Structure 1
Amino acid sequence: MTGIIEPIRCLSAAAGVLMLVLSTPAPARAAPSGKFGTEGKPGTEDRSGSDRDGAREAGKDEGRQAGTSGKTGDGKDVDTEHLFGFTEGADAGEKGEQEAVVDTVSRIGKRRDGPGRAAYRVLDTRLAYQFNPIDRLSLELSAFGTLRRQSNVADLDDKSYGTFDGASLEVKYQFLKGSAEQPLGLALEVRPRFTRVLPVEGRGADIVDVESLLQLDVQVVPDTLWYGSNISIEPAAGRERGSRGYRSSTFLWSNALVGRVGKNTYLGPEVRYLRGYEGTFLNRLESEALTVGPALHHRFTEKVWLTVAYAGQVWGRDTDPALAGRALGLNQFERHNLRVKFGMEF
């Protein structure tokens, strides 16, 4: 019996020691580096951990703010000037900026004159150099060339040639710069130009026109979606070579909505409404047209970009009684327009 009781007493003593250990409060542990100083003394807190946390939070806040300020992935402001296809954005650049542009517009399709195949293809190319003498003011010098082929087109002579087609000076001033806090951009551009060829007929001429263009753009969704709109009036006057005087004018209202579809790629629809008049001051309406198409803008690098846009005529009319009931406004405008614009900043 004694042999059995002795092990029981040992187990009871061991259990008592274990209970005593478990019931003793654990000593206070050293706090993380944010609770004790470098000498391990309480009350001298090292705030480096909290400072790092605060810096991380501040960085996150700055990142969120940058995402709503209309900037590109590399932190640069989105330049809206060439963003919208045929529609021009309001941005004008900063002092000292320079840019070279090759801008080509293809105009295709007129009304056929009788049976047989008809062709109307005009390729207008502009070589331009732009610079900014001060902030928000840009000056652009342009030289124009044209390639033309037209045959069996109503009221037009058959022609096929290429030639130099004049020069222009474009002066643009930006009144408002769009941002996240103030999303509206607004600018006015004036484009006096001398041209040697009538734009529709293709006959030789000496013509001066002055286009006045109001440009507006809005960040609809910061850093994601932009709206651009232009209103333009372009009077022209001069003389056909060896013939009578020439007077015409054009009214344009264009609208585009583009969204970011990649880090440096933007895409969206564009709608333009045009009215062509005989007379310098919008005197007698000859044609009107509505065009629709996509606009694409892509930046290969911070300094190199490409804009491509198509505009197809979906509605229009000519006021000539002989053309009553005929579809589209082809007296002054074309069925199709394609614009390819390539630029390099330096």
Structure 2
Amino acid sequence: MAHAVEAVVVSAMRTGAHTIWTAIACTLALAPACVSAEEGFDTEHIFGFMIGSDVGNPGERELQSQTTGRFGKGAGTYRAISQEVEIEIVPLPNFRIEVGGTTTMHDITGVPDINDRRQLNFQGASLDLRYRLLERENAPFGLTVATETHGDRIDEISGAKGRMYGTDFTLAFDRELIPNFVIGALNLIYQPEWARFEVTGLSEKSSTIGAAFAGMVRVRPNFLLGGEMRYFRQYEGIGLGEFAGQALFVGPTAYFQISERSRLTLSWSMQAWGRSAGSAANLDLVNFERHQARLVFGVNF
């Protein structure tokens, strides 16, 4: 039975991005065009790898499914897909709480410094807290501070077992550049992480800082199209110690309001430039992946 499940998982992972894009194109074509957009933007969910300053209205509850794929290392075959299910609530004005659990699949063969493995495991849980400090309607831009804390038993990169803890700190800015037509967003990111691996007993500490920019255009009342550009620098130690590598990701993002209560976001990024410490290569495939993709479906209840 275990081998059968593994075969299905690996087969699904090898389907690739073409199937995902085809499914989304069909959804966009078949969904009703009569869904009307509210005045202005709600930036809570329109971005793929980034976040906006909106946090929802008091009393809102949402169920969200987020699928993230990471593909390609320096050599061999590398595919890692995580599936996170989250529940979001807005108990107070300008304050949002999100609790989630994640399952990961890994298909790794012949990648330097990472053991070969094909597996499906429950990875861990996360708690995401967001507080909006400024509203776009009453300030030059929207501003939200977000902290997402996670505790894992599986390393998201290598798939190795252990204990992993980390927190993602984000400052999210956004502003309507053309009212009800173009929105821009900026994220400033700091991600300290600590890990202890089960087999080797080794402990590792790392930290990542980054800046990301996104722009979205309202193509139709229920359809936004744009792109995201994200730059990261990774260091050893949680206090930005020795430099390990850097990478720049760019790619398109699409947001579709399926109905009054449901939504879909699709984002894909390619590493356009990067460099690991001590390397002259134009990509950092040691600390980062070649491609990243994300599919998010959410529904209010």
Note the 1:102-121 alignment, pairs <5 A: 102-112=65-75, 118-121=76-79
SS of the equivalent of 2:254 reads: strand
Q: Percent same amino acid at aligned positions?
A: 31
Q: Indicate if the aligned counterparts of 1:200 and 1:332 stay in contact, CA closer than 8 A.
A: no
Distance apart, 1:183 and its partner CA? 5.1
Determine if contact 1:183/1:220 at 8 Å carries over to the other structure: no
2:150 aligned to 193, 196, 214, which one?
193
Deviations 1:178-221, CA, capped at 9 Å, x for gaps: 23x64511100111110112232221110110111111110000
Q: Report the CA distance shift for 1:301/1:77 in structure 2 as closer, same or farther (over 3 A).
A: farther
* Cα deviation digits, residues 141-199 of structure 1 (max 9, x gap): 000110000111111111110100000111100111223x6451110011111011223
User: 1:89: which partner in 2?
Assistant: 52
Q: Which has the higher contact order (CA 8 A, sep 6+)?
A: 2
Partner residue in 1 for 2:164: 207
Counterpart of 1:60 in structure 2 is none
1:285 matched to 2:243? The reply is: yes
Aligned partner letter, 1:139: I
Partner amino acid, structure 2, of 1:202: G
Mapped pair 1:297 → 2:252: no
Do structure 1's residue 223 and structure 2's residue 186 form an aligned pair? no
Cα distance in structure 1, aligned partners of 2:82 and 2:236: 22
Distance 2:40 2:219 in 1: 17
CA 1:299–1:327 in structure 2 vs 1: closer, same or farther (change >3 Å)? Answer: same
Residues 1:96 and 1:77: Cα distance change in structure 2 (over 3 Å): farther
- The letter for the 2-side match of 1:90 is S
Any idea what the Cα deviations from partners look like across 1:239-284, whole Å, max 9, x if unmatched? 1114121211111211100100011100112100011221111111
Structure with greater strand share of residues = 2
1:235 aligned onto 2:198: no
Residue 274 in structure 1 maps to residue 232 in structure 2: yes
Aligned partners of 1:79, 1:345: CA distance in 2, in Å? 14
Whose radius of gyration is greater, 1 or 2? Answer: 1
Alignment root-mean-square deviation, CA:
1.4
**Correspondence 1:152 to 2:115:** no
Q: Distance in 2 between matches of 1:165 and 1:76?
A: 39
TM-score if structure 2 supplies the norm length?
0.85
Query: Which is further off, 211-220 or 182-191?
Result: 182-191
With normalisation by structure 1, the TM-score equals 0.74
Please give the alpha-carbon distance, in whole angstroms, between the structure 2 residues aligned to 1:238 and 1:316. 24
Q: Distance in 1 between matches of 2:298 and 2:71?
A: 24
Q: Please name the residue that 2:293 is paired with.
A: 338
Look up the SS of the partner of 1:261 in the other structure: strand
Q: Is the 8 A contact 1:287 1:330 kept in 2?
A: no
Equivalent residue, structure 1, for 2:62: 99
Give the whole-Å Cα distance in 1 for the aligned partners of 2:43 and 2:135.
10
Deviations along 1:23-75, one digit per CA (max 9) or x if unpaired, are: xxxxxxxxxxxxxxxxxxxxxxxxxxxxxxxxxxxxxxxxxxxxxxxxx9454
C-alpha distance in structure 1 between counterparts of 2:129 and 2:191, whole Å: 15
User: Any residues of structure 2 matched to 1:131-170 within 5 Å, and which?
Assistant: 131-170=89-128
Tell me: CA distance 1:81–1:314, structure 2 relative to 1, closer, same or farther (3 Å): same
Indicate the residue corresponding to 2:15 in structure 1.
none
What secondary structure is seen at the aligned counterpart in 1 of 2:41? coil
